[in-house]
Amino acid sequence: MSSWGQETVDLREHIFGETVIDDINDAQRDELLNILSRYRFEIGCIGTRKLIADPDAEKNNMITLLKRLIITAKAVGTNYIRICTFAPRPEDEYLRRKMLVSAVPLMREFADIAAAEGITLLLENKPSSITNRGSEMAEILTKVNHPAVKAQWDAVNSWIGGFYDFEQDYENCKEFMGSVHLKGAMGSRDNCAVYDRGGVMGRDEVPHNKIIEWLVKDGFKSNITLDLSVSSVNRKEFAMTDADICRESLEYAKAVIREAEKKYSGV
């Protein structure tokens, strides 16, 4: 990635083998910092798997986890930590909304802790969660009403969750936008949870070019992350290395951004 001119990366899973960023100890954090010091990467976000605004979880454990993540975030030099709402998502809409309302005080408490350390929490719309689309992220963030919590919008996650109108999803949450995930290696709408169709972003059915245009036109200034899920690509049907998938997707995204910037140069 460094040789491709990439300057920013997120830290998520598989940091040391199967260790996720939540679970690294002090010695591993030092090792991570040593590795990063060899390059000029800025860290966009810590993509925690375990920090969840779930009133049924042990709150003290969640707060301990958040404080540990804040130590890592400050050590690697990022101001952003991902957070999710709890899953599984109930089919009953009344129950979903009730669960959403119950999560608001805890998320606000997390936000107070993060804000005191200069950290912003990014709420991602995970497919199976109670906020798996833009309108639902906007709903809970309106209720939380805290400057230290913003949306980390993943259009494909909304798609997997059953909401197919990308433009409407964007409009629903754009005022809360703090970060954006783009995905590659997606399947068709008939089988959209299977990452074995395209592999490289731009060769699938997700309108990434349109999404990037909306962001540029609206003056979005924060991070756009390629969340490529290369480990899930069906190698029998798509014979490329992980590095090739990443490189071609990165080149595609940057080319689309350049074209959008030319198109909306007056914005």
Mean pLDDT to the nearest integer, 88-112: 95
How does DSSP assign 158-187, residue by residue? Answer: HHHTT---HHHHHHHHGGGEEEEEE--S--
3-class SS at 85?
A: strand
Assess whether pLDDT exceeds 50 at residue 144: yes
User: Whose CA is closest to 127, among 94, 168, 85?
Assistant: 85
Claim to verify: residue 53 and residue 117 sit in the same structural domain:
yes
Q: Residue 85 above 80 pLDDT?
A: yes
Residue 197: predicted pLDDT: 46
Tell me the DSSP string of 104-122.
HHHHHHHHHHHHTTT-EEE
Residue 250's pLDDT band (cuts 50, 70, 90):
confident
Distance CA 160, CA 90 (A): 15
Among 34-43, 105-114, 137-146, 191-200, the least confident range: 191-200
Pair 134, 195 in one domain: no
| Rg of the chain taking only CA atoms, in angstroms | 18
Residues 119 and 146 in one domain: yes
Q: Residue 104 pLDDT > 70, yes or no?
A: yes
Domain-ending residue, one of 132, 165, 181: 181
Look at 15 and 66; give whichever has higher pLDDT. 66
* The predicted structure's pLDDT at residue 199: 47
Q: Is the pLDDT of residue 191 over 70?
A: no
Task: Compute the Cα dihedral for 26, 32, 36, 41 and give only its sign.
Answer: negative
Considering the domain architecture, whether residues 157 and 255 belong to the same structural domain is answered as: no
Q: Are residues 211 and 144 in the same domain?
A: no
Q: Using an 8 Å Cβ cutoff, are 54 and 19 in contact?
A: no
Q: Indicate the residue among 150, 181, 212 that finishes a domain.
A: 181
Reduce the DSSP state of residue 237 to 3 states and report it. Answer: coil
Does pTM top 0.85 for this prediction?
A: yes
pLDDT at residue number 241: 76
pLDDT surpassing 70 at residue 234: no
pLDDT at 16: 86
- Each residue's pLDDT tens digit, 255-264: 889 999 999 9
Question: Which of helix, strand or coil describes residue 233?
Answer: coil
- Give the domain range for residue 223: 183-267
Q: pLDDT tier at 201 (50, 70, 90 boundaries)? A: low
Range in 54-58, 147-151, 211-215, 243-247 with the lowest mean pLDDT: 243-247
The per-residue pLDDT of the chain, averaged, comes to 87
Last residue of a domain, one of 149, 181, 213: 181
What is the pLDDT, as a whole number, of residue 192?
40
Token pair of 128 as six digits: 């199976």
Q: What average pLDDT does range 112-136 have in this prediction?
A: 96
Q: What is the dihedral of CA 238, 241, 245, 247, to 10 degrees?
A: -150
Q: Are residues 210 and 246 in the same domain?
A: yes
pLDDT in tens, 42-81: 999 998 989 999 988 888 999 999 999 999 999 999 999 9
Place of tokens 């833009």: 134
